[in-house]
Chain A
Amino acid sequence: MRQYIIRRLMQVIPIVFLVATTVFFLFQLIPGDPAVVFAGEQASPETIAKVREALGLDQPVHVQYWLYLKRLVKFDLGKSYISGMKVKQEIKVRFPNTIKLAFLATLVSSVLGVTMGVFSALKRESVVDYGFTVFALLGISIPIFWLGLILIFIFSVQLKILPIGGNSTWQHYVMPVFVLATYSTAAILRITRSSILETMGEDFVRTARAKGAREYLVIVRHVLRNSLIPVVTVIGLQFGYMLGGSIITETIFAWPGMGRLLVMAVNQRDVMVVQGCLIVFASCFVLVNLAVDVAYAVVDPRISYS
């Protein structure tokens, strides 16, 4: 098990390297000259040439790629062509805000989703089950930007009890976390319910009951543990969804995070910032997937990792 984790950790480096490479070459395809963007449209040809030299853009692509990798190893993500700020600095300020938001939303949705899913499955076809099922269907169906706008209208404009945007007090967290968690709560609820129902039909559950195990033990030891694989997968995928969802949520609630930074950078065609954000996002994702794979091995002894 330990070896498996170490081996997977070793694989993180080449994956991040491949991601960085893909991003680099993809962005070579963008039309337009970054030196012109950096120097400004009105700049003289001499200035543009100087800027091009300063940015290393006069070098052939493979040399640029080599310089890019060398900078990356030192965690240097370059400078924004638009603002001239260091990309690393811009990300450093905003990254914790996005992680806080995504982590809180994942926590809220996992706890709520699994709890509601378990109740829903155990009390199958009861009022509770129907209630949760309808909630789940609405939760995965509601557009989060629309939900966000409507919540702002109700709680900020009409009732004036929650702030519209920013992240300075805990009240600022309520709406963004809730909005971001809605979809995932519903998705986790659904997969938990369906997975538990499927497990309850298995032979080993019948055997456990037949040998006289108490219902509580049957549920905890046999049903829950065996139903967790799909749930773990979905929670893992949800964290990714959270980082992506943060882009829209952050835009609606003026949250000073990486999502908003990325949208602004795409709008302004600020290549270096987009590149930096993508590499950071991607690294997070690879680590989350690693955690999901390890969690598989913990919850399902049937999967062997020799």
Chain B
Amino acid sequence: MPLDKLKKKPAAIEKILHFGNNFPLATMGGLLVMLFIVVAALAPFIAPYDPNKMNLKDALLPPGHPLHLLGTDYSGRDMLSRLIYGARISLFISSASVFMGAILGVFLGIVAAWFERLQNPIMRFIDIMLSFPSIIVALTIISILGTGINNLIFAISIYNIPVFARLAYGQALSVRNFTYIEAAVALGVTDARIMRQHILPNITAPIIVQFTLVIPQAIMLTAGLSFLGLGVMPPTAEWGNMLQDSLRWAVKGPHLVVLPGLALLLVVFGFNTFGDGLRVALDPRMRNR
């Protein structure tokens, strides 16, 4: 056998293979997420029809029709195409908003736990923000700014800041009394370095659990608000407003109600299982168990 075949595979590939072997369910979830991401990114190329093209002649076709794989809705729009464009909207809104919220939130939480003088002002501020539930923050901002995708992203990211800050704060507070932190202080390690190198890695496990709970939550919130008629408005294809829109047709075309919910369930399930495996893989304390 030639020598270079025996060479180790690149570290990244090695890690992915390792992950796949150890976390089959999470890998499945990851693949599911990837599938949705690819579908969302390539929506204009893979959707068989224009998602908004009506064709009353072919209304309410059941799934399995040769021309419309997943059937059509009450005005003859292709369900598969609408679901694909729905994935695009959902993933874009949720990832953009959670990312912005998490960065600010974790930063605020750790800083509040480390600098005692900042603890009160920051956590009181967080308390005030937390005193509004996610959907209520969103409803407030939407009732002021109006419906629309940008306002939705803004609303969801605002709500994510206190969620991450509070968790990071609670965790960092119990970590900061440990001996290794004391040791680091005694060695003269700078505050920034302690927060980054000693506190952050020791509280990542619950933060990642939270992240994996929150991205799908943001997807759900988007769908929920659209379901209430306050998020993404029809005719833009979005899973939540597709559900709301087709309630009247639930008996004649049950697939109109079942399919958007199923798509939502699948993508959220994918994120959750993937994040779950990632949590175990990323936690240095759990790695060798």
Chain A residues at the B interface, C-beta cutoff of 8 Å: 11, 15, 18-19, 22-23, 26-27, 29-30, 137-138, 140-146, 149-150, 153, 187, 190-191, 194, 197-198, 201, 229-230, 233, 237, 240-241, 243-245, 247-248, 251, 262-263, 266-267, 269, 274, 278, 281-283, 285-286, 289, 296, 300, 302-303
Contact = CB atoms under 8 A, between A and B. Distances in A.
Given A19-B132, A143-B261, 17 more contacts: A15-B124, A15-B127, A23-B140, A140-B268, A141-B216, A142-B265, A145-B224, A145-B243, A146-B264, A190-B209, A198-B205, A198-B286, A233-B167, A266-B139, A278-B140, A282-B131, A289-B131
A263 B139 contact: yes
A267 B206 CA distance: 37
B139 A262 contact: yes
Given A137-B269, A269-B143, A289 B127 contact: yes
B160 to A, nearest CB: 12
Given A30-B144, A137-B269, A240 B130 contact: yes
Interface string B264-289: 11001100110010010000011001
Contacts of B84: none
Contacts of A19: 128, 131-132
B166 interface: yes
A247 B135 contact: yes
Interface stretch (B43-51, B95-103, B192-200, B227-235): B227-235
The 7 closest A-B pairs by CB, nearest first: A244-B133, A146-B261, A285-B131, A141-B269, A282-B131, A141-B268, A244-B135
A198 B285 contact: yes
A137 B173 contact: no
A267 B133 contact: no
A27 B127 contact: no
B174 interface: yes
Interface of B: 124, 127-128, 130-136, 139-140, 142-144, 163, 166-167, 170-171, 173-174, 177, 205-206, 209, 213, 216, 220, 223-224, 227-230, 240, 243, 247, 250, 257, 260-261, 264-265, 268-269, 272-273, 276, 279, 285-286, 289
Contacts of A285: 130-133
A26 B142 CA distance: 11
B261 A150 contact: yes
B interface, by DSSP: helix, strand, loop or mixed?
Answer: helix
B128 A274 contact: no
Contacts of A15: 124, 127-128, 131
A190 B279 CA distance: 12
A221 B165 CA distance: 30
Contacts of A266: 139, 142-143, 230
Contacts of A30: 143-144
Contact of B132 (A282, A300, A303): A282
Nearest to B227: A145
A300 B140 CA distance: 36
B256 to A, nearest CB: 11
A229 B171 CA distance: 9
Contacts of A241: 133-134
B289 A146 contact: no
Contacts of B227: 145, 248
A233 B231 CA distance: 29
B131 A247 contact: no
Nearest to A22: B128
27 contacts: A22-B128, A26-B140, A27-B144, A138-B269, A141-B216, A145-B243, A146-B243, A146-B265, A149-B261, A187-B213, A197-B286, A198-B286, A201-B289, A229-B174, A237-B166, A247-B135, A248-B228, A262-B136, A262-B139, A266-B139, A278-B140, A281-B133, A285-B133, A286-B127, A286-B128, A286-B131, A303-B173
Contacts of A244: 133-136
Contacts of B268: 140-143
Nearest to A190: B209
Contacts of B276: 137, 190
A11 B136 CA distance: 23
Nearest to A245: B135
B273 A137 contact: yes
Contact of B128 (A18, A237, A245): A18
Nearest to B229: A267
A141 B265 contact: yes
A194 B205 CA distance: 9
Contact of B170 (A187, A201, A229, A262): A229
Contacts of B142: 266
Nearest to B251: A157
Contacts of A201: 285-286, 289
Nearest to B139: A266
